[in-house]
């Protein structure tokens, strides 16, 4: 019935008047979609529907237009949701790559600090009192550098925390893994803060 209604609504109309000799008979009778009446001519069926079923015709047309618009809106929402999910996936992959890069950089900085400290400690063992005084100055510089290193690491961890907070709001499926990483970050921050306080007390 729905297809028949659309065929009727969009079917071409002849310009001949009722009873005109130019009319060509159809192969089958045309059925009214709203009652059991049948007609041989499109014009007659059109007149019947407009006079007897105008409200039903308008309601059906409105309903079909509404259903079409609803389907189009649903497809658009699905398309937007898929695009958003893909964008979030790309952001998570980028975050994992950046996190790995940051971890490597942190480890390299730590290794460099350890090597420098070991080198300074070896030099200190064979030096005179004057050199010991110089080494104390070096120790202070090392501590300052380590404090600066701790500060930079804490800032890096804070930026990572902010990024994770942002991703957690837009990617619920990754919330558990991100929350675990967030807990490790907080634990690492507490460890660094305790280490800093311990150094400040020396």
The pLDDT, as a whole number, for residue 126 is 63
23 is a domain residue: yes
d(CA 26, CA 19): 14
Tell me whether residue 81 is in a domain.
no
- Whether residue 149 is predicted with pLDDT greater than 60 in this model: the reply is yes
Nearest alpha-carbon partner for 116 in 153, 150, 141? 141
- Claim to verify: residue 59 and residue 127 sit in the same structural domain: no
> What are 141's two structure tokens?
């510089």
CA 63 centroid distance within chain: 34
Closest CA to 188 of 146, 150, 162: 150
The reply to whether 11 and 40 lie within a common domain is: yes
CA separation, residue 14 to residues 6, 17, 43, 95, 149 (Å)? 17, 8, 8, 66, 87
Alpha carbon of 136 to those of 62, 128, 133, 160: distances in Å?
Answer: 88, 12, 5, 35
Task: Check residue 64 and give its pLDDT.
Answer: 86
The whole domain housing 168 covers 87-201
Do 108 and 72 reside in the same domain of the chain?
Answer: no
Q: Is the pLDDT of residue 78 over 90?
A: yes
Residue 42 near residue 49, CB atoms below 8 Å: no
Assess whether 61 and 100 both reside in one domain.
Answer: no
Highest mean pLDDT among 85-94, 113-122, 151-160: 85-94
Q: Please list the alpha-helical segments (H only) found in 21-53.
A: 42-52
Domain limit, last residue, from 53, 76, 99? 76
Is 145 inside any structural domain?
yes
**Where does the pLDDT of residue 97 fall: very low under 50, low under 70, confident under 90, or very high at 90 and above?**
confident
Same domain, 156 and 191: yes
Is 156 in the same domain as 71? no
Q: What pLDDT is stored for residue 12 in this prediction?
A: 45
Are both 60 and 151 inside the same structural domain?
no
Q: Are residues 109 and 185 in the same domain?
A: yes
Winning range, highest mean pLDDT, from 39-43, 99-103, 109-113: 39-43
Look at residue 109 and tell me if it is in a domain: yes
Q: How many domains does the chain have?
A: 2
pLDDT bin (cut points 50, 70, 90) of residue 173 is low
Residue 196 CB partners (closer than 8 Å, separation 6+): 147, 150
**pLDDT for 58-72, tens place per residue?**
888 888 888 888 898
Most confident range, picked from 12-21, 114-123, 183-192: 183-192
pLDDT value of residue 77: 92
Q: Single out the residue of 154, 152, 150, 122 nearest to residue 138, CA to CA.
A: 122
Burial 114-145 (b: 16+ CB within 10 A, else e): eeeeeeeeeeeeeeeeeeeeebeebeeebeee
- The predicted pLDDT at position 76 comes to 92
* 20: confidence class by pLDDT, cuts 50, 70, 90: very low
Mean pLDDT to the nearest integer, 66-80: 89
Tell me the pLDDT of the chain averaged across its residues. Answer: 77
């Amino acid at each position: 019935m729905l297809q028949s209604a659309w065929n009727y609504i969009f079917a071409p109309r002849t310009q001949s008047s009722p009873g005109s000799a130019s009319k060509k008979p159809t192969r089958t009778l045309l059925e009214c979609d709203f009652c059991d009446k049948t007609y041989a001519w499109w014009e007659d069926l059109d007149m019947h529907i407009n006079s007897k079923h105008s409200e039903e015709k308008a309601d059906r047309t409105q309903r079909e237009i509404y259903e079409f618009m609803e389907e189009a809106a649903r497809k658009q929402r699905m398309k937007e949701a898929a695009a958003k999910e893909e964008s979030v996936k790309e952001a998570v992959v980028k975050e994992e790559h950046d996190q790995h890069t940051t971890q490597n950089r942190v480890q390299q900085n730590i290794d460099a600090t350890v090597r420098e400290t070991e080198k300074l400690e070896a030099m200190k063992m064979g030096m005179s009192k004057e050199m010991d005084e110089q080494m104390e100055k070096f120790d202070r510089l090392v501590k300052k550098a380590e404090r600066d290193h701790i500060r930079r690491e804490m800032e890096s961890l804070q930026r990572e925390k902010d990024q994770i907070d942002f991703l957690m709001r837009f990617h619920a499926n990754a919330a558990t893994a991100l929350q675990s990483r967030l807990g490790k970050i907080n634990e690492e921050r507490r460890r660094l803060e305790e280490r800093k306080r311990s150094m400040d007390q020396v």
